[in-house]
A = this chain, B = another copy of it.
Amino acid sequence: MDIKNKLYQGQGIHVITALFTVIQGVTKVLLIKRKNEPFLGEWVLTGGALYNNEDLETGALREIAEKTGITDVKIKQFKAFGKVDRSPVIRMVAIGFIGLIDSKRVNILRETKNTSNADWFAIDQIPPLGFDHEEILQEAIIELRKEIVKTNILKSLFPSGVTLPELQKTYEAILNKKFDRRNFRKKILNLDLIEDTNQVDKFEGNKPAKVYKFKDQIEDKDIFL
């Protein structure tokens, strides 16, 4: 390989995470306002250039930690984005991740060295985004919907456990669909993603709900049986 070959010289890698949360039944994504060129002043997803000394996931987690202070997110790589002109500076390929965090755990850094603002936006009320982040976000939403029915990715949203009614509201928010309570319970328990703790969650004035937690390990289902 000739590292001076003009055909492929001067390339770079982005690691970009669509970081979701669910607040009061609304699915939201964290957006950051840029403080530098290119796309100065525009909103983008969490992310940036991958460093030479870190793996893809490590880089994505570093960017998340810089913007949110959160260090224990589960993220999942879902697709690479590499249109020739997706970045105006040099040829950049973006590796896209999704992740979920409990928004109550985050104190969003409103201003950092590279960003002038940050906030949660409902996924159906997204402003114009810089780079190709609108495309990345749309694919991220699809991936998120696939992941929550197959993996324990929602564990990051409920680190201390969740009741089935809460969980149902979360699924309904992310999938944008309503479920019958009885059928939801059967289905979600059949997915083998969560397990009963022996605690109950007391609210005022109504029957306490059982608390479940996401398993640490999910076994893969057989395909095509």
Residues on the B chain within 8 Å of A5, using CB: 49
B82 touches A1 (CB 8 A): no
Q: In the complex, what's the smallest C-beta–C-beta distance from A169 to chain B, in angstroms? A: 15
Protomer copies? 2
Asked if A11 is at the interface (CB within 8 A of a chain B CB), the reply is yes
Question: In chain A, residues 49-87, which have Cβ atoms closer than 8 Å to a Cβ of chain B?
Answer: 49-56, 77, 79-80, 82-84
Q: Which of B13, B55, B79, B145 contacts A223 (CB 8 A)?
A: B145
**What sequence of 0s and 1s flags, for each residue 194-225 of chain A, a beta carbon within 8 Å of any chain B beta carbon?**
00000000000000000000000000000110
Using a CB–CB distance below 8 Å, which chain A residues touch chain B?
Answer: 1, 3, 5-13, 36-38, 49-56, 77, 79-80, 82-84, 89-91, 93, 95, 145-146, 149, 171, 175, 177, 187, 223-224
Could you jot down 6 A-B contacts, CB within 8 Å?
A1-B38, A3-B90, A11-B11, A11-B52, A55-B83, A80-B80
Given contacts A5-B49, A8-B51, A82-B95, 12 further A-B pairs with CB under 8 A are A1-B37, A1-B38, A7-B51, A8-B49, A11-B50, A13-B82, A52-B84, A55-B82, A55-B83, A80-B80, A80-B95, A175-B224
The list of the 9 closest CB pairs from A to B, nearest first, reads A56-B82, A8-B49, A149-B224, A80-B80, A7-B51, A80-B95, A52-B91, A13-B93, A11-B12
